Structure 1
Amino acid sequence: MARMVFCKKYQQELEGLALPPMPGARGKELFETVSKKAWQEWLQHQTMLINEKRLNLMDPDARTYLTEQMEKFLNNENFDAAEGFVPKD
């Protein structure tokens, strides 16, 4: 049986992640409050941001930017979209 969490993005009980997505306290918090669905959507959005904005993940500023965008995305706040991206209706 899948582990269920109350997803902070969708505000409902959904299947949780199998493992924390990153080490430390932040990983534990995400593991406990973010659904598998929301995390997969974030990973897709993150990939678009990295590609469209040509982020260098070796750059601490780029990593900080992605962390900020992740928090906004998962908390349903206004987050940056990739330029030229038109979401499906």
Structure 2
Amino acid sequence: MTQTVFCRKYQQELEALPFPPLPGEKGQEIQRSVSRKAWEEWQAQQTRLINEKHLNMLDPKTREYLMDQMERFLDNRESDQAEGYVPPAQ
């Protein structure tokens, strides 16, 4: 049976992540409050930001920036977008 979680992004019960996506308390917090759908959307957004902005993942400031953007994205606050990205037609 699939576990569910009340997703902070979508404000509804959705499928939970099967394991914490990050190490430590932060990963456990995300697993308790973010759905699989929201996390997969964040991963796609993060990939676009890294690619379009040519971010260096070895730079601690880059990782801090992405953590901030992740929180903004998951809380439905304004977050940076990859310039020129056009979402696929649905």
Aligned with 2:87: secondary structure? coil
- The correspondence of residues 59-70 of structure 1 with structure 2, limited to 5 A, is 59-70=59-70
* 1:76 corresponds to 2:48: no
**What do you get for the CA RMSD once the two structures are aligned?**
0.9
Does the residue aligned with 1:13 lie in a helix, a strand or coil? strand
Paired with 1:87 and 1:36, the residues of 2 have a C-alpha distance of: 20
Q: Are 1:86 and 2:86 an aligned pair? A: yes
Give the drift of 1:85: 1.1
How many residues align? The count is 89
Residue equivalent to 2:18: 18
Question: How far off its partner does 1:50 sit?
Answer: 0.1
Structure 2: 5+ residue stretches without partners: none
- Post-superposition Cα deviations, 1:59-89, rounded to whole Å, max 9, x if no partner, equal 0010000000000000000000001112346
Structure 1 portions without partners, runs of 5+: none
**TM-score under structure 2 length normalisation:** 0.95
Asked if 1:43 corresponds to 2:13, the answer is: no
Identity %, equivalent residues: 57
Runs ≥4 residues deviating over 4 A? none
| TM superposition score normalised by structure 1 | 0.96
